[in-house]
Amino acid sequence: MTQRRDFIKKTLIGSAGIAVTGIGLSAKSYGSIIGANDRINVAVIGIRGRGVSHIDAWCNLKDSHNVRIKTLCDTDEQFFDPRSKTVFDRTGATPLTEWDMRRVLDDKEIDAVSFATPNHWHALGTIWACQAGKHVYVEKPSSHNIWEGRKMIEASRKYNKRIQVGFQNRSIPNVIEAMKFLHEGGIGEVYMARGLCIKPRDSFGISPDSTPPASLHYDRWLGPAPSRPYNEKRGHYNWHWFWDTGNGDTGNQGPHQFDVARWGLNKNEHPVSIFSTGGIYGINPAECAQETPNTQISVAKYKDGKILEFETRGRHSNAESSLGIKIGNVFYGSEGYLEINGGTWKAFRKQDKEPFAGSKVATAEVASLTGSSDTEHYINFLDAIKSGKDETLHCDILDGHYSSAVPFLANISYRLGGRELKFIGDSERFENDREADKMLTRVYRSPYVVPSKV
């Protein structure tokens, strides 16, 4: 068994070209980093849903990487007791709890913040954190709109703070291996990437406006979004399906696969055109408050003609490819194609029925050795904090911005009736389209304003 574990680690390092600290939790290897013995105090902001995964990852790293969850923060205080108990049970220490993010950021002892808030809070929270001298791990999409993403990049660079975006695929050894294979010409010249988000979701219904629960600081929850009465169907998790707070499934699950698609195409730039169409199907609009589409097809083209296409299917559907992909990608090249489903991939030559290359180590085996992809991504974030170098991040805010921008552009096209839009990447503006330009940002509700000068 020991020989097998050693073999897998050597295989992963050799084939994917990643550092030892990106694979295991070896105290010896981690201790070789300058300053690695300094404790890193973390605050988790947003502790429902995805925030649970953040808490779990940081608890996993308590001993191996000297991480302490000092504070848990959420605008809804109902989650304080159960999440605090989780941290205590896992680490033996009880964290502080706070509903006001600004008080958390005022704490000089906190080195990094981990954001799992709704999308509309990602940018302002991150910018405030950088200004307060904190490093940031922020969930995908990196922001709520394109203009915000650019402000986050500016904040990172101005205050010299690391911002890691939660595109965990960037830290999965098998995915790294697949990208390396594509970039080295494994299927010839890659001319098209396809992303899939097949997630059937039933109607979540409707309800009248009501009084916010006593545990919820509703004005702070709204933050930069327009003021409106509280409605339980627009709150926890359902915020994804309303334009003021979310970006639909194309901008929810979708960014992960947009990121892998752009990575495989090797495009560190914006597309020059985008088209997207769709709608809400299989649900009676009179019985569901949802605004964003549950079915959407998006096509982006880069200046060299390469194509990124993406499909969101929110109703009952078949999977695709020999791997049965529902959440994943397919790449098409001059000499064949490559399928990737989670951490498993296969490559096929032209019309061959059997793969000629693929992932060498089962995803389950990798996870048993390295921890989850989440854990690997957090380790990489810690490594970058220690090194003080943005380039050591697997998904620096610039990469996160490029990958988040594509679904944002798709949603703008969709909301403008599905018309094709021409985009000028250098200035991040549309070509002769003032109506579309207005949708690159939003009107912010005072005092929750993303500043033009960070």
Which tens digit of pLDDT belongs to each residue from 200-218? 999 999 999 999 999 999 9
Q: Which CATH superfamily is 2-168+381-392 part of?
A: NAD(P)-binding Rossmann-like Domain (3.40.50.720)
CA distance 41 to 56: 15
CA distance 251 to 258: 9
Q: Does residue 18 register a pLDDT over 80?
A: no
Mean pLDDT computed over 27-37: 41
Q: Which residue has the higher pLDDT, 189 or 33?
A: 189
Q: Does residue 10 register a pLDDT over 60?
A: no
Mean pLDDT check: name the lowest of 4-18, 49-63, 367-381. 4-18
231: left (phi over 0), alpha (psi -120 to 50) or beta: beta
CA distance 147 to 429: 10
* pLDDT at residue 374, as a whole number: 80
Give the DSSP letter of residue 79.
G
Which tens digit of pLDDT belongs to each residue from 369-423? 444 568 999 999 999 999 999 999 999 999 999 999 999 999 999 999 999 999 9
Q: Concatenated DSSP letters for 18-35? A: --GGGT---HHHHHTSTT
SS3 146: helix
- Mutual orientation of helices 50-60 and 80-91 as an angle, nearest 10°? 20
Q: Domain ranges for the chain, please list them.
A: 2-168+381-392, 171-366+396-433
Which of 276, 313, 311 lies closest to 411, judged by CA? Answer: 276
* pLDDT at residue 356, as a whole number: 98
SS3 136: strand
Confidence label for 36 from pLDDT (cuts 50, 70 and 90): very low
* pLDDT at residue 31, as a whole number: 38
Answer CATH for 171-366+396-433 from 3.10.150.10, 3.40.50.1110, 3.30.360.10, 3.40.50.620: 3.30.360.10
SS3 368: helix
* pLDDT at residue 373, as a whole number: 60
